[in-house]
């Protein structure tokens, strides 16, 4: 029996759709957003989204923890590799690695003695870092499943929302949070945070991606150069809680106002860099605040933010207990974080910019991680 033209046309359409689906499932070469099932947590479906730009560069993001799991861009020779630490399976994230790529909240970094006073009440949080509270507590925003929505935009875009209930992890107020990720054709990962509350509450959201621009965790980050546009930093006590002072970086190992190798002065800092820099960008406008570079791959990462602070954490606690997706152990200082934020322990430090969100106010914060090859 001879096939009619219509039957042939239908077959062609089916074949075309199937091929396209293949591209979508594997992600990574067609501009747009693709989604694949990645498992279940707390009876909620977990997905892995791939945001691919017109160059075929891509980021992958899961709605578990609102986590960036890979960021793949070319080096000077056009060879593409991943510049952040990440895993291909959800099960590794469920072993609670140290916040690789995750969204941190309700309060990024530390709150001293795991408590703060607001109005007439004292709020008690879980002490999950010695006597202090770190990164939102026992089950912070990095360990919950977010609702996902792929946005219709000129660049691939993904919005994740989460309702943190009144009293969750000890924090007051129902907090509705949205994180929107956009991946542009200029290899910029733009992260926009928005939040609303129905009771006054501290909010400090950040992303905890660990970068190694060489694309190979066999290399430490000590030869990367770093510039931070900050004339001051917040010194800390032995438990990494700010003392409340704001000190000039000039003449100290904390001076990154001109790009220098991270390894140059790190041994003069007990434990290594894990501090908040007071950015010169004071008016809340989006500004370039840091540049990280790797001379070998010739990749640079430019960080733009509206936030007043930047936590530069040099991977001082990495100890090889997690294996990167390329099979290599993630050892001491093989990756670093540049966490845009308000200052740690602000709820207990009246001299620091306030982190208290009031009902009726909009929390709004933007950070861009842009990769360039020079
Ligand atoms: C942050 C902190 C560090 C450490 C890491 C996670 O960046 O500042 O002290 O807790 O997270 O290991």
Tokens matching residue 103: 């969204």
For 338, the domain range is: 32-373
Provide the number of structural domains found in the chain. Answer: 1
In a domain, 19, yes or no: no
HSE, side-chain direction, 13 A CA sphere, residue 121: 10
User: Any idea what the CATH number is for the domain that residue 333 is in?
Assistant: 2.70.98.10
In a domain, 198, yes or no: yes
In a domain, 23, yes or no: no
pLDDT at 5: 58
Residues β-bridged to residue 151: 157
Nearest-CA residue for atom 2 of ligand 1 = 109
For residue 226, whether the previous peptide bond is cis, meaning omega lies within 30 degrees of 0, is: no
In a domain, 158, yes or no: yes
In a domain, 4, yes or no: no
Residues β-bridged to residue 304: 288, 368
Listing DSSP states for 136-149 in one string gives: TSTT-GGGSBPEEE
In a domain, 265, yes or no: yes
Listing DSSP states for 230-265 in one string gives: -SEEE-B-TTS-B-S--EE-TTSTT--SS-EETTTT
Q: Please give the number of the atom of ligand 1 that sits closest to the Cα of 344.
A: 8
In a domain, 17, yes or no: no
Taking the chain (374 residues) in runs of 10, the rounded mean pLDDT of each run is: 49 39 46 97 98 97 98 98 97 98 98 97 98 98 98 91 98 98 98 98 98 97 98 98 98 98 98 98 95 98 98 98 94 98 98 98 98 96
pLDDT at 151: 84
Q: Which residues form ligand 1's pocket by a CB distance below 6 Å? A: 98-99, 109, 134, 240, 274, 311, 313, 317, 337, 339
pLDDT at 282: 85
CB atoms closer than 10 angstroms to residue 100 = 26
In a domain, 273, yes or no: yes
CB 141 within 8 A of CB 177: yes
Nearest-CA residue for atom 10 of ligand 1 = 134
């Amino acid at each position: 029996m001879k096939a009619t033209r219509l039957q042939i046309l239908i077959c062609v359409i089916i074949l075309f759709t199937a091929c396209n689906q293949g591209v979508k499932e594997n992600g990574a070469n067609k501009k747009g957003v693709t989604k694949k099932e990645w498992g279940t947590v707390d009876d909620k479906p977990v997905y892995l989204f791939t945001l691919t730009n017109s160059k075929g560069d891509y980021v992958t993001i899961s709605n578990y923890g609102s986590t960036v799991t890979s960021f793949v861009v070319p080096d000077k020779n056009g060879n593409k590799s991943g510049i952040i630490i990440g895993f291909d399976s959800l099960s590794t994230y469920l072993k609670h690695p140290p916040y690789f790529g995750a969204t941190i909240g309700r309060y990024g970094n530390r709150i001293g003695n795991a408590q703060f006073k607001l109005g007439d009440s004292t709020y008690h949080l879980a002490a999950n870092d010695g006597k202090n509270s770190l990164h939102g507590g026992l089950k912070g925003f990095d360990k919950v499943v977010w609702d996902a929505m792929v946005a219709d935009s000129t660049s691939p875009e993904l919005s994740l929302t989460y309702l943190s209930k009144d009293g969750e992890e000890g924090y007051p107020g129902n907090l509705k949070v949205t994180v929107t990720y956009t991946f542009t054709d200029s290899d910029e990962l733009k992260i926009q945070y928005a939040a609303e509350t129905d009771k006054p509450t501290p909010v400090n959201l950040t992303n905890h991606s660990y970068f190694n621009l060489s694309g190979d965790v066999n290399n430490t980050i000590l030869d990367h150069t770093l510039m931070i546009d900050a004339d001051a930093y917040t010194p800390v006590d032995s438990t990494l809680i700010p003392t409340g002072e704001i000190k000039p970086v000039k003449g100290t190992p904390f001076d990154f106002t001109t790009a220098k190798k991270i390894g140059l002065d790190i041994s003069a800092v007990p434990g290594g860099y894990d501090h908040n820099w007071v950015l010169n960008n004071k008016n809340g406008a989006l500004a370039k605040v840091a540049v990280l570079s790797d001379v070998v791959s010739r990749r640079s990462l430019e960080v733009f933010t509206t936030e007043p602070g930047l936590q530069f954490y040099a991977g001082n606690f990495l100890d090889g207990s997690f294996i990167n997706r390329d099979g290599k152990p993630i050892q001491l200082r093989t990756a670093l974080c540049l966490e845009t934020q308000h200052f740690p322990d602000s709820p207990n430090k009246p001299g620091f910019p306030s982190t208290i969100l009031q009902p009726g106010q909009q929390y709004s914060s933007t950070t861009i991680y842009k990769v360039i090859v020079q």
